[in-house]
Amino acid sequence: MNAKAPLYSRSPRRQVGPGLVPLPKTAAESGEAAGGVAAAPPAEPATPVTRVARLRATSRRFQGPLWGLAGAALAVVVSTALVKAPRVITQEDIDAAVRESIEREPLPSQAARAYDAVAPSLVRVVGLMNDEDTGDSAPEKKAMDRSLGTGVVIVANGTILTNLHVVWGAKKIRVRFHNGEESEATMVGAMPENDLAVLKALTPPAELEPATMRSTGDLKPGDHVIAAGFPFGIGPSVSYGVVSGLKREFRSPEGEKTLTNLIQFDAAANPGNSGGPLVTMDGAVVGIVTAILNPNEQRTFVGIGFAVPIENAAAAAGLPPF
């Protein structure tokens, strides 16, 4: 009897472990179907689409715009980190800045500011005592025959306040303004009881700045003042002091007259300051310097000067009261 040739299956042999029963082969595994035709391999089961997969697909689709958005977001974050919150300015910062500014450019003193305010209104007044004196530069002996004093412009048309004793008896009166221009002047008013005279320049400068006048109603002892003028013809000069008292009385050395309701001050004044303005720190004229107390015959300042209140001076010029 002929032995049959062994048949071998083309499918891999299943390993059967201990205690396991081999399953019957399916048609797909045997590679044969009914009728001897090989069956098609079974379709693979569909893989479920997860959220992560969808996100990956979307990111691949919009890769360019997403990179642009990411760059913009990064720029915002970086700029926000670099911009610091504004620093709060404290009072100490302000004080330090003020100190630094003052050290770099020191402010002018109050006296300097007061002088700057009144300087354009200052006038040098010369009373010429003889007809031969023209008022020009002259030998010293002729200069001694002149009466030197100060005036202050109170009206832009060339109206000037000064002391009566500066121009009393003068044959001619010459005035020199802040800009250097000179003019003859005439006396148009007087108040002898207050030693005041009102002058009018015949040819005043085209642009003349009158002084600012202020009431003495709030003036107090201790207030700072300056006296501006031409002491001994030198100037314009300025001295600084305080109001020493109010409502003072002064009798002239000759005893000819007594002045009342005067402002006493200690800013240096000498012959030639007569008729000049007494000025407060705001640049306003509160008085007209009229006298100094001389306990001796040297005619030098000993610390006591007197000024006529500007209310009286304004009345002498016919100006309305304050």
Q: What is the DSSP string of 129-174?
A: -STT--SSS--HHHHTTSEEEEEEEEETTTEEEEEHHHHTT-SEEE
- Of all residues in the chain, the percent with pLDDT exceeding 90 is 45
Helix (H) or strand (E) holding 190: strand 182-191
Q: Which of 208, 210, 213 is nearest to 284 (CA)?
A: 213
Mean pLDDT for the chain overall:
78
pLDDT digits (tens, 9 = 90+) for 219-262: 999 999 999 999 999 989 999 999 999 999 988 766 567 889 99
Asked whether residue 72 is assigned to any structural domain, the reply reads no
Residue 132 belongs to a domain with what CATH number? 2.40.10.120
Asked whether residue 30 is assigned to any structural domain, the reply reads no
pTM assigned to the model: 0.66
Q: What is the pLDDT of residue 143?
A: 46
Q: Is residue 79 among the annotated active site residues?
A: no
pLDDT digits (tens, 9 = 90+) for 279-322: 999 999 999 999 988 777 666 788 899 999 999 877 776 665 54
Q: What is the pLDDT of residue 98?
A: 78
Is residue 42 very low, low, confident or very high in pLDDT (cuts 50, 70, 90)? low
Question: Which residue among 195, 237, 244, 266 is the active-site one?
Answer: 195
Asked whether residue 196 is assigned to any structural domain, the reply reads yes
Q: Which of 277, 162, 267 is nearest to 212 (CA)?
A: 277
Question: Which residue among 147, 183, 244, 274 is the active-site one?
Answer: 274
Q: What is the pLDDT of residue 65?
A: 63
Least confident of 24-38, 104-118, 152-166: 24-38
Asked whether residue 308 is assigned to any structural domain, the reply reads yes
Asked whether residue 1 is assigned to any structural domain, the reply reads no
Angle between helices 63-82 and 51-61 (to 10 degrees): 90
Is residue 34 very low, low, confident or very high in pLDDT (cuts 50, 70, 90)? very low
Backbone φ, ψ for residue 187 (5° rounding):
-85, 120
pLDDT digits (tens, 9 = 90+) for 88-133: 888 888 888 877 877 777 778 999 999 999 999 999 999 998 766 6
Q: How far apart are CA 114 and CA 279, in angstroms?
A: 7
Number of domains in the chain: 1
Asked if 119 contacts 228 with a C-beta cutoff of 8 angstroms, the reply is yes
Asked whether residue 29 is assigned to any structural domain, the reply reads no
When comparing pLDDT for 62 and 317, which is higher?
A: 317
Residue 111, Cβ neighbours under 10 Å: how many? 18
**Amino acid residing at 229:** G
Asked whether residue 54 is assigned to any structural domain, the reply reads no
Q: Is residue 165 among the annotated active site residues?
A: yes
Q: Is residue 195 among the annotated active site residues?
A: yes
Domain of 264 in residue numbering reads as: 112-316
Question: Which residue among 121, 147, 165, 239 is the active-site one?
Answer: 165
Whole-angstrom CA distances from 129 to 53, 102, 276, 292 are 119, 51, 21, 23
Q: Which of 114, 116, 138 is nearest to 126 (CA)?
A: 138
Q: What is the pLDDT of residue 97?
A: 83
